Amino acid sequence: WINWFCSSREHKYYTEVDESFIEDPFNLIGLNAHIQLYKETLEIILDLEPVDEMYNRVPDLSLLEPSAELLYGLIHQRYILTKQGMFQMYEKYESGHFGKCPRFYCNDCHLLPCGQHDLPKTSQVRLFCPNCMDIYIPPNPRHQAIDGKYIHVLTYND
pLDDT tens for each residue of 88-134: 999 999 999 999 999 999 999 999 988 877 666 677 888 899 999 99
Average pLDDT over residues 38-67: 75
pLDDT tens for each residue of 67-80: 999 899 999 999 99
Q: Mind giving me the DSSP string for 69-125?
A: HHHHHHHHHHHTTSHHHHHHHHHHHHTTTT-B-S-GGGTTPBPEEEBS-SSTTS-B-
R_g over Cα of the chain? 17
Average pLDDT over residues 54-78: 78
pLDDT at 152: 60
Element (H, E) at 45: helix 38-45
Tell whether the model's pLDDT for residue 157 goes beyond 60: no
Q: Which has more confidence, 43 or 141?
A: 43
Domain ranges across the chain: 2-82
Give the domain 2-82 fold: protein kinase ck2 holoenzyme, chain C, domain 1 (1.10.1820)
Q: Of 3, 5, 9, 49, give the one whose Cα is nearest residue 142.
A: 9
Average pLDDT over residues 55-59: 53
Q: Which has more confidence, 60 or 22?
A: 22
Q: What is the pTM of this model?
A: 0.83
CB atoms near residue 98 (< 10 Å): 22
For CA atoms 19, 23, 24, 25, the dihedral sign is positive
pLDDT at 128: 92
Which amino acid is it at 23? E
pLDDT tens for each residue of 7-43: 988 888 889 999 999 999 999 999 999 888 899 899 9
Q: Which has more confidence, 154 or 30?
A: 30
